[in-house]
Amino acid sequence: MKLQTALTIAGTDPSGGAGIMADLKSFQSRGVYGMAAITSVVAQNTMGVQLVEHVSIAMLEAQLYAVYSDIMPHAVKTGMIGVPEMMDVIYPYLKKGVPYVMDPVMIATSGDRLISEKAVEVLTTKLIPLATVITPNRSEAEVLSGMSIETEEDIKKSAQIILKELGSQSVIIKGGHIGADATDYLFTKNGELYQWSSPKFNTIHTHGTGCTFSAVITAELAKGKSLVDAVGIGKQYISMAIEMNPGLGEGRGPVNHMAYTD
């Protein structure tokens, strides 16, 4: 039985709710063989980030070579990429022609800033133009578009800035802070707009939702699904994962990566 493969390039989470740990759980739950290259070792849990140590550039490059020289991924996801030099190493691997999902991790759910200003600049100019889709949260979309997002109209404006000025093929912006439902919007470069809504859940257990959502999309793209279908599955998956969260931790707990089955 030959499995489709997906690679995540991101930081760690020893508490298992976010980063590479969440990505691998998501890949596995969607029937895809998961691989990982670690950019940063992050001491974090449901209460926040305590310490970040980046791996050496040589180590990151060696991990990527180890994967690509042996098992070619069918889709790639990037998460936390802490310094510009890492982006320079990752860049040629993202040009291999497989779907690329960027979760532009800049700010943790806890509010902790995770990457430098220079890294944000290189991310926007070098990596975003290669992305099949980027999946910023509200704070990250505000950084990328240079505007505040308070309304649905703001979401549409910020998406157009990201698509036209930064150059990704598509962008998903989550509008859970607007209205009675949690609505996610997918905008494509050719002017298409799709949206999915789900109920809002009265819970603080949302640690790793961004990582998980984008990882599920990556897994579905690896299996050959269209972007619209992949995002639709990702939306159903993350909604159920939040609703059926395991209630772990003293702070913003993780979601349930075993909740959704189809």
pLDDT at 118: 87
Q: Which residues are known catalytic residues?
A: 174, 206, 208-211
Query: How far is the first Cα of the chain from the last one, in angstroms, to the nearest whole number?
Result: 20
Domains and CATH numbers, the chain: 5-243 (3.40.1190.20)
Query: Which residue do the tokens 């395991």 mark?
Result: 246
* 3 state SS of 251: coil
Give the pLDDT of the chain (262 residues) as one tens digit per residue.
789 999 999 999 999 999 999 999 999 999 999 999 999 999 999 998 899 999 999 999 999 999 999 999 999 999 999 899 999 999 999 998 899 999 998 876 566 667 778 888 899 999 999 999 999 988 889 989 999 999 999 999 999 999 999 999 999 998 777 877 899 999 999 999 999 999 999 999 999 999 999 999 999 999 999 999 999 999 999 999 999 999 999 999 999 999 998 8
Q: Tell me how crowded residue 92 is: count the other CB atoms within 10 A of its CB.
A: 10
Q: Where on the phi/psi map is residue 215: left (φ > 0), alpha (ψ -120 to 50), or beta?
A: alpha
**Closest C-alpha among 231, 162, 220 to residue 198:** 231
pLDDT at 180: 78
pLDDT at 109: 59
pLDDT at 112: 65
In sequence order, the β-bridge partners of residue 78 are 9, 102
pLDDT at 188: 97
- What is the Cα 5 distance to its own chain's centre? 17
What is the model's pTM?
0.96
For the chain, the residue count is 262
